[in-house]
Amino acid sequence: MPKQVRIVDVGPRDGLQAEPATVPTEAKVELIHRLADAGIPSVEAGAFVSPKWVPQMADSEAVLNTIKRRSGTVYPVLVPNMKGFERAQAAKVTEIATFSAASETFSQKNTNCSIAESLERAAPVCAAGLAAGMRVRGYISCALGCPYEGDIDPAKVAELAGQLLALGCYEISLGDTIGVGTPSKAAAMIQAVAREVPIDQLGLHFHDTYGQALANILACLELGVATVDSAVAGLGGCPYAPGASGNVATEDVLYMLDGLGIETGVDFAAVVAAGQYICGVLGREPTSKAAQAYLAKAA
């Protein structure tokens, strides 16, 4: 079990891009500031993708050009291709994320290309990012299951993770995109991937569709994984994964880690307040159980 865990809050990107309505730029900026001020070391700030396909992220340049960057916090963005990279570079981004999927069908549905083609797209992006002095992170979708293909062979995930590592990714974030994983399956997947990528270069990106995300994270922490992606207030989903609910809530992850005596350097109450803020903008309540309990007790 690690003594410290690094939290990557993906709410401002992965969370808000799943919203049916576009969130105002100033609200995104405020959310990012609140998360950074709470001590989150990595706040995913946007995505340089086609505004035609993801209109919710069309203002990523404005967001990155407006935020006041806090020392000690990184603001990664998703970059699917060289056009996106050029936009990210112009916005003075220091960390980018590229992505692929462990499912051929999902890859086609999500990005209209095969897994092999997704790696071909990622290669020049990674090379350009590294040449520009950026850090590059890799995402793998459907690491524990696909809405179209069902169970995914851990060996397939491991092979893909190794390929992303070879492209220069400093860390590979393993996504249970539709939240179907269970602790034993999550642990088996991590064990397989760790044969290709060092355990300290792996991250977890679990959705909570079946209420298993915390249990799955715990199973992987016990194997030595020390980076967890989460979204404030449990924001998120996946438009190409029917039935997928939001990411595991940052508040719930923080509460569990604190109970385990694992340090994060994050202010739980400040994250709850950030969740309240963005849920107020969205007109709904946070899905985080820990946030709900904390707020009820405070009231």
CA 106 to chain centre: 17
Buried b or exposed e, range 250-274, using 16+ CB within 10 angstroms: bbbbbbbbeeeebebebebeebbbb
Decide if 230 contacts 15 (C-beta within 8 A).
Answer: no
Per-residue pLDDT tens digits for 188-243: 999 999 999 999 999 999 999 999 999 999 999 999 999 999 999 999 865 555 55
Paired with 9 in beta bridges are 43, 230
Per-residue pLDDT tens digits for 119-147: 999 999 999 999 999 999 999 999 999 98
Decide if 172 contacts 203 (C-beta within 8 A).
Answer: yes
Residue whose C-alpha is closest to residue 10's, from 94, 93, 74: 74
Q: Give the residue ranges of the chain where pLDDT is below 50.
A: none
Q: What is the pLDDT of residue 238?
A: 59
Amino acid identity of residue 22, one-letter, is T
List, as one string, the DSSP characters of 163-212.
HHHHTT-SEEEEEETT----HHHHHHHHHHHTTTS-GGGEEEEEB-TTS-
Q: What is the pLDDT of residue 18?
A: 87
CA angle 116, 120, 122 (to 5 degrees): 115
The CB-side HSE value for 71 (13 A sphere, CA atoms) comes to 0
Q: What is the pLDDT of residue 111?
A: 79
Domain boundaries, the chain: 6-298
Q: What is the pLDDT of residue 205?
A: 98
Catalytic residue among 126, 146, 169, 238: 238
Amino acid identity of residue 153, one-letter, is D
- Collect all residues with Cβ–Cβ distance below 8 Å to 97 and sequence separation of at least 6: 44, 76, 77, 78, 79, 136, 137, 138, 139, 173
**CATH topology (fold) of 6-298:** TIM Barrel (3.20.20)
Residue 102, helix vs strand vs coil: coil
Active site residue 169: no
**39: left (phi > 0), else alpha (psi -120 to 50), else beta?**
left
Tell me the two tokens of residue 84: 């996106």
Helices (H), the chain: 25-37, 60-66, 82-90, 104-111, 115-131, 154-166, 183-193, 213-221, 250-259, 268-282, 289-298
Decide if 63 contacts 28 (C-beta within 8 A).
Answer: yes
Decide if 96 contacts 89 (C-beta within 8 A).
Answer: no
Amino acid identity of residue 164, one-letter, is L
Decide if 36 contacts 73 (C-beta within 8 A).
Answer: yes
